[in-house]
Structures are given as C-alpha cells and as structure tokens.
Amino acid sequence: MLNKLWLGFFIAAAAAALARWGIAHDPSVFQAMVASLFAMAKLSVEVMVLLFGTIALWLGFLKIAEQAGLVDALARILGPLFARLMPEVPRGHPAIGLITLNFAANVLGLDNAATPIGLRAMKSLQTLNPSTTTASNAQILFLVLNASSLTLLPVTIFMYRAQQGAADPTLVFLPILLATSASTLAGFLCVAAVQRLRVWDPVVLAWVGGTALLLGGFMAFLSTLSVAALGALSSLLGNLTLFALILFFLVVAAIRKVPVYESFIEGAKDGFDVAKGLLPYLVAMLCAIGVLRASGALDFVLDGLRLAIQWLGFDTRFVDALPTALVKPFSGSAARALMIETMQNHGVDSFPALLSATIQGSTETTFYVVAVYFGAVGIQRTRHAVGCALLADLAGVLAAIGVCYWFFG
C-alpha cells in the first residue's frame, strides 16, 4: 500500500506541474518542487532532532514504570477487553499496558508523551507479529485508533486561537470533542468490520458504554463552567496530569526499590535506538508530501470542490477551511500553517477559521503516523491500515463541518 501511495504522490505532483506549465505557462513550478524536496529533507532532520530528545525522555520514564510493575498491572486490568479486540495478544502482555498509556496521553492532548509510548507499544506488538514486514491485525487497530486522534483537551488549538486574538480561545472545545469522537468511532468500526471483531461482546459493550458514560459526564460538567474557567481547567489539567504521571511512576518505583536513575538511563538508551531508525521513513514521506503541495495538486482539488459545491447550490463557506482538511493527513505543520492563515485572512472567529481549528483538532497526520509507527518496526505492507485511518479522517472532517454549522451556523 505504501509503495503505491508514495509513487502516487509523485505522479499526481508531476501531472499537476505539467498542467500548470502547459495551461498557466508557469515553469517556476518545477523549481518550487525541487526546492520543496530539499526543504522537506531538511525538515525531516529538524523533526528528528526534536524526536530524539522527546523519545529518550519518555521512554526513560516508561522504563521506570515497567520495572515498577505498573505496565503489567494495566495489562491485567484490561486483559478481558483486549482479548476480544486483539485476540492474538496474550492476556497480561506488556503491550496492553503500553497501549493504554498511549491512549491516555492522546486523550489528554499530551502528544509529546503519546508518541514515544506509542512507539514502545508498537515494538512490543511486533514481538508477537509472525511477519517482519507485514502489519498484524493488532498493530493496525492500534495505529488506526492513534490516527483518529481522540483528544479531550486540545490545549494547542486554544493557544493558536489566543495568539491570533480570539476573545474566547476555547470556543471550539465542544465541536472538537464531538468531531474527534466521530473520527475515532468511525476508525474503530471500520477496523472491526474488516477484522470481524466481537464488538457486540458484553465485555466490549461494557467498556465502551462505561467510557461513553464517563465522557458524557465529563462533558456535562464542562458545560457548567464559564469560558474563563474552561480555558484555565484545560491548561491546568493537561500539565498537572503530565507531571503527576511522572511523579507517580517515580514514587511507586522508589517504594518497590527500583533504581530509578539507572532505569531511566536504560530506557533513554532504548529511545535513542528507536529514534535513529525513523529518519529514512520521515524523509521519504515528507519529501513526497512536499512535492505534492508545491506542484499545486491540492489547489486544483480545492478549486474543483468549490466549483462543484457552487453548482449544487450549497453554502460554500466551509470550502475556505478545506485546505487544512486536505493537508492534515500529510503534514501537521502544513495544516497548522494553513489554519493560522485562515484565521488571519478571514478573522479568528469567522466560520472558516472556527471550522479550520475544529478540523485541526479532530483529525491526525495519518501518513506521518504511518511512517513513524510502522517505520519504527520495519513494517512495509500496511494492509487495510491506511484505508481505515483515512476513513476516520473523513468522518472527522464531515463531523467537524456538521458540528460547526450546528454551533456557529
């Protein structure tokens, strides 16, 4: 799948560039594409520099949690659920606890913690994979749920809106929460259908239903807060949870006589080994994305959508936010730049800007996630992972559009 997809990026970019050259008489497109190749190669290295430190830091703390027995305890608690969702993963396997920690970090918007833990979980799942190059069912489910980007506290989106002068930076909180929930549900159901998972099993229903009740109760509580209180809670809860988790790991490990410093160093060394293998995958994916963007292929798609929607007689306000949606599966930094550009051009509290922020918070950089997570374990055949993840992205975008029309009309 990745082979065809990667080649398809370059072919689409070439077709768009030829069209710009032949129709618009713009030969500079080829210079832009070549410049983008080198720019993306440079960006890959810059991203890796950040990843080295982040991955080493969090895998160091994670090693402390493992040696303290916390990961095994999580695995035992969630064993009955994962026995149905990931039947090839034995009950009590360390991967289950790592997956749980990864989901918890994602839900709280702690991306810096989620990625290294997720990489460790993927490597743990790879130990159960009979193939060294083909993704297993468990790895696919894990990746798709990661790519669906379920986040309860999108603090970074609030920060960008505040930087652009929004009177209420948290205005998009509930729209993002609803849209990202739709994305995650769509991704899960898609994988469940392909893999024929036992979603109607009483244990699965109990966990899913219980989670839904907790989520609903949390949303009901948040709805009672003022705008100022909601913003303060979002920032406080994210940072407090992060530091409390680290402190919890250290205290439990100390009580259980775990040498915390030596354990941290051991985990950090593992993080260095994980990080150094990611660069080729990042270079390959980011360069293909850069060429596609520089060729104007995404602009062609956007202009075509606008004309089609106008012809159908529908409201076209949401089209101005679609650049963020079209780019987000490929590049988080590009989508972030487009979101900010939309805020500046249309106003931070305009409908396109609100929708762009909602999309940014409710979908994930799917191809980046695929490149990093599968690249860390050498997976080349992704099977249905990319298709299910993109379906989750589409569900998130459609839900974001519907929710924003509902909230901001």
Q: What pLDDT digit, counting tens, does each position of 170-216 carry?
A: 778 778 888 888 888 888 889 988 988 877 888 888 887 787 787 77
What gap in Å lies between CA 14 and CA 219, rounded to an integer? 47
- What pLDDT does 251 receive? 92
Mean of the pLDDT values across residues 301-318? 78
Count up the domains in the chain and report the number: 1
Q: Which two tokens stand for residue 50?
A: 């950040």
More confident position, 341 or 186: 186
What gap in Å lies between CA 329 and CA 366, rounded to an integer? 5
| pLDDT per residue as tens digits for the range 355-380 | 988 998 887 778 878 888 888 888 88
Question: Please, which pLDDT band fits residue 107 given cuts at 50, 70 and 90?
Answer: low
Question: Please, which pLDDT band fits residue 105 given cuts at 50, 70 and 90?
Answer: low
- Contacts of 93-97 spanning 24+ positions with Cβ under 8 A: 93/124, 93/128, 94/66, 94/124, 95/121, 95/124, 95/125, 95/127, 95/128, 95/138, 97/70, 97/71, 97/72, 97/73
Question: Please, which pLDDT band fits residue 114 given cuts at 50, 70 and 90?
Answer: confident
pTM of the model: 0.70
Q: Which of 101, 90, 98 is nearest to 128 (CA)?
A: 90
pLDDT at position 262 over 60: yes
Return left, alpha or beta for 257; rule: phi > 0 is left, psi -120 to 50 is alpha, else beta: left
Instruction: Report which residue type is found at 23.
Output: I
- What pLDDT does 219 receive? 67
DSSP 8-state class, residue 90: P
Query: What is the percent of the chain with per-residue pLDDT over 70, rounded to a whole number?
Result: 87
What's the CA angle centered on 401, arms 235 and 358, to 5 degrees? 15
Domain that holds residue 391: 1-408
pLDDT at position 351 over 80: yes
pLDDT at position 18 over 80: yes
pLDDT at position 279 over 80: no
Compute CA 335 distance to the chain's CA centroid, rounded to the nearest angstrom. 12
The secondary structure of 56-87 as a DSSP string is: HHHHHHHHHHHHTTHHHHHHHHHHHHHHHHST
Name, of 104-118, 304-318, 336-350, 388-402, the range with top average pLDDT. Answer: 388-402
| pLDDT per residue as tens digits for the range 65-103 | 878 887 777 777 777 877 788 888 887 788 887 887 777
3-state secondary structure 162-225: HHCCCCCHHHHHHHHHHHHHHHHHHHHHHHHHHHCCCCCCHHHHHHHHHHHHHHHHHHHHHCCC
Mean of the pLDDT values across residues 11-22? 89
More confident position, 177 or 385: 385
More confident position, 17 or 285: 17
What gap in Å lies between CA 320 and CA 313, rounded to an integer? 16
- What pLDDT does 259 receive? 92
User: Are the C-beta atoms of 83 and 65 separated by less than 8 Å?
Assistant: no
- What pLDDT does 235 receive? 56
More confident position, 271 or 125: 125
